């Protein structure tokens, strides 16, 4: 098996990856349908409302981080995922039922988005670190990259399928499909060979688990730099739930099917970026710098695209840059972190990725409403340039990678 796909040698990882792929298709269908419904059915092309939905859906990542990170470190992740994935399925079915009944209102979407965000706050760090339990240490970076690649491979199918469903039979069916798709990952979790899991050390019992995570990160300049770069890009650059539909509706004047196709095009680039990342044994700051700079350039090209064809091409390139940057950051922080601290460190990273995006979403939505979607994409390009500048400063001050000592085994048993 090639180095790119070496994690698939593990039976448990193969099961998990198959179930996650099906569920990810459903997730992208729901995201696409929800954005379209809010923008064109529940409002009159109001990008600010889309930004509010994003804030409610991803804001709890930031609010619940002090609880979610330690939970992912201390409890059985498989059990936690069975609970969170089931809850997410119920919420998707609820939104689908409201949409199909014709009684859905904007406030319903707001409430369900917030509830989904609360569940995701616990699901995301557990899901990101669960791959550590499925493979050996040498394959962790590869498993992380393949996980991200799977998520974006589903993006090739989900948005386009959602666009077709919306155009032909209605928005609600996309939500129902997502609810059903969680069955695949639940079946995979239930079918894992528990004897083949690779549980990691639990942290020692103590108070202030979240503070320990922050102290650990702040003692590492490389992790701090990676988080600051991620803050800039996630706050102002990862608002494609606003960029793509507003460009589709206002710049190119196309319908739901074309919008879904544009969202899927970005997935093509994301898969390419993920597969490239999967070949990296241990990414360093240089890859993060290159990814941030590439994002700045490609986002600027998307903002200046004269028609839908060139915009689609720019989205492919942007997807590659985003995935290269995101996956490399994820892998760097997981592979260079003490296993007993990994859940808390990942909770901080995910809080920045998913919790800070809502801080910028209403601002970016307002810019799209006031100045136009091209200016909003220009802000995204500027965030990538600022992140690249910070990464360049760190590289100049620290030309050699930091030495990360091998962590001592933690006491307190194993998960």
Q: What is the pLDDT of residues 6-24, one digit of tens each?
A: 888 888 888 888 999 999 9
Establish if 411 belongs to a structural domain. Answer: no
Q: What is the Cα–Cα distance from 334 to 55, expressed in whole angstroms?
A: 26
Nearest to 134 by CA among 120, 146, 117, 116: 146
Tell whether pTM > 0.75. no
Establish if 407 belongs to a structural domain. Answer: no
Q: What is the Cα–Cα distance from 363 to 370, expressed in whole angstroms?
A: 10
- More reliable by pLDDT, 142 or 122: 122
pLDDT digits (tens, 9 = 90+) for 342-383: 777 877 887 787 767 777 888 888 999 899 999 999 999 999
Q: Residue 405 pLDDT more than 60?
A: no
What's the distance, Cα to Cα, between the start and end of the chain in Å?
29
Establish if 340 belongs to a structural domain. Answer: yes
Write down the pLDDT at residue 2. Answer: 66
pLDDT digits (tens, 9 = 90+) for 292-322: 999 999 999 999 999 999 999 999 999 889 8
Mean pLDDT of 230-240: 90
Q: What is the Cα–Cα distance from 76 to 202, expressed in whole angstroms?
A: 10
> Which of 71-109 are b and which e, b meaning 16 or more Cβ less than 10 Å from the residue's Cβ?
bbbbbebbebbeebbebbbebbbbbbebbbeeebebeeb
pLDDT digits (tens, 9 = 90+) for 57-68: 888 877 887 787
Mean pLDDT of 113-128: 88
Question: What does the DSSP 8-state code read for residue 76?
Answer: -
Question: Using alpha carbons only, how large is the chain's radius of gyration in Å?
Answer: 20
The answer to whether the beta carbons of residues 316 and 156 sit under 8 Å apart is no
Nearest to 120 by CA among 150, 88, 95: 88
Establish if 309 belongs to a structural domain. Answer: yes
Write down the pLDDT at residue 264. Answer: 79
Q: What is the Cα–Cα distance from 216 to 193, expressed in whole angstroms?
A: 33
Q: Provide the β-strand partners of residue 201.
A: 414
Write down the pLDDT at residue 199. Answer: 63
Write down the pLDDT at residue 158. Answer: 85
Q: What is the Cα–Cα distance from 99 to 387, expressed in whole angstroms?
A: 40
How far does CA 138 lie from the centroid of its chain? 24
Q: Number of C-alpha atoms within 13 angstroms, CB side, residue 356? A: 19
Establish if 415 belongs to a structural domain. Answer: no
Establish if 413 belongs to a structural domain. Answer: no
Nearest to 89 by CA among 23, 154, 33: 23
Q: Residue 49 pLDDT more than 50?
A: yes
pLDDT digits (tens, 9 = 90+) for 318-328: 988 988 888 88
Q: What residues contact 161, with CB distance under 8 A and at least 6 apart?
A: 25, 29, 174, 177, 260
Split into its structural domains, the chain has a count of: 1
Q: What is the Cα–Cα distance from 178 to 123, expressed in whole angstroms?
A: 16
In degrees, rounded to 5, the angle at the alpha carbon of residue 248 between the alpha carbons of residues 263 and 163 is 50
**What is the domain range of residue 265?**
3-397
Write down the pLDDT at residue 397. Answer: 85
What's the CATH number where 341 sits? 1.20.1250.20
Is residue 299 helix, strand or coil?
helix
Q: Residue 414 pLDDT more than 70?
A: no
Establish if 320 belongs to a structural domain. Answer: yes
Establish if 11 belongs to a structural domain. Answer: yes
Q: Number of C-alpha atoms within 13 angstroms, CB side, residue 328? A: 25
Is residue 201 helix, strand or coil?
strand
pLDDT digits (tens, 9 = 90+) for 182-227: 999 999 999 888 877 766 555 544 445 667 778 888 888 888 999 9
- At what angle are helices 209-218 and 221-236 packed, to 10 degrees? 100
SS3 content of the chain, % helix, strand, coil (to 5): 80, 0, 20
pLDDT digits (tens, 9 = 90+) for 257-280: 788 788 778 878 877 776 776 666
The answer to whether the beta carbons of residues 415 and 133 sit under 8 Å apart is yes
């Amino acid at each position: 098996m090639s180095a790119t796909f070496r994690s698939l040698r593990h039976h448990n990882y193969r099961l998990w990856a198959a179930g996650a792929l099906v569920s990810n298709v459903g997730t992208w269908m729901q995201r696409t349908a929800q954005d379209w419904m809010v923008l064109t059915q529940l409002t009159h092309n109001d990008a600010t409302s889309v930004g509010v939905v994003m804030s409610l859906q991803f804001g709890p990542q930031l609010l619940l981080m002090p609880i979610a990170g330690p939970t992912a470190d201390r409890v059985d992740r498989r059990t936690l995922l069975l609970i969170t994935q089931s809850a997410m399925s119920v919420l998707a079915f609820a939104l689908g039922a409201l949409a199909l009944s014709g009684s859905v209102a904007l406030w319903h979407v707001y409430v369900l988005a917030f509830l989904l965000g609360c569940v995701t706050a616990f699901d995301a760090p557990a899901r990101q670190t669960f791959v550590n339990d499925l493979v050996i240490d040498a394959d962790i970076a590869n498993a992380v990259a393949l996980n991200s690649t799977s998520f974006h491979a589903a993006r090739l199918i989900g948005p386009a399928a959602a666009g077709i469903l919306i155009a032909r039979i209605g928005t609600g069916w996309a939500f129902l499909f997502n609810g059903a798709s969680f069955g695949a990952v639940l079946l995979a979790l239930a079918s894992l060979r528990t004897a083949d899991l690779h549980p990691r050390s639990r942290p020692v019992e103590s108070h202030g688990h979240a503070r320990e995570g922050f102290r650990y990160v702040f003692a590492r300049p490389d992790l701090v730099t990676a988080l600051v770069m991620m803050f800039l890009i996630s706050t102002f650059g990862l608002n494609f739930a606003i960029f793509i539909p507003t460009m589709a509706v206002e710049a190119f004047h196309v319908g739901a099917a074309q919008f879904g196709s544009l969202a899927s095009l970005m997935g093509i680039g994301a898969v390419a970026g993920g597969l490239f990342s999967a070949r990296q044994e241990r990414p360093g700051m240089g890859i993060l710098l290159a990814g941030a700079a590439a994002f700045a350039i490609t986002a600027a090209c998307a903002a200046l695209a004269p028609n839908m064809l060139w915009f689609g091409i720019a989205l492919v390139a942007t997807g590659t840059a985003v995935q290269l940057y995101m996956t490399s950051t994820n892998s760097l922080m997981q592979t260079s972190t003490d296993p007993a601290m990994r859940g808390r460190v990942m909770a901080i990273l995910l809080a920045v990725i998913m919790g800070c995006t809502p801080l910028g979403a209403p601002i970016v939505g307002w810019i799209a409403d006031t100045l136009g979607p091209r200016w909003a994409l220009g802000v995204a390009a500027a965030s990538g340039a600022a992140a690249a500048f910070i990464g360049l400063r760190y590289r100049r001050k620290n030309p050699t990678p930091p030495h990360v000592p091998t962590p001592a085994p933690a006491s307190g048993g194993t998960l």
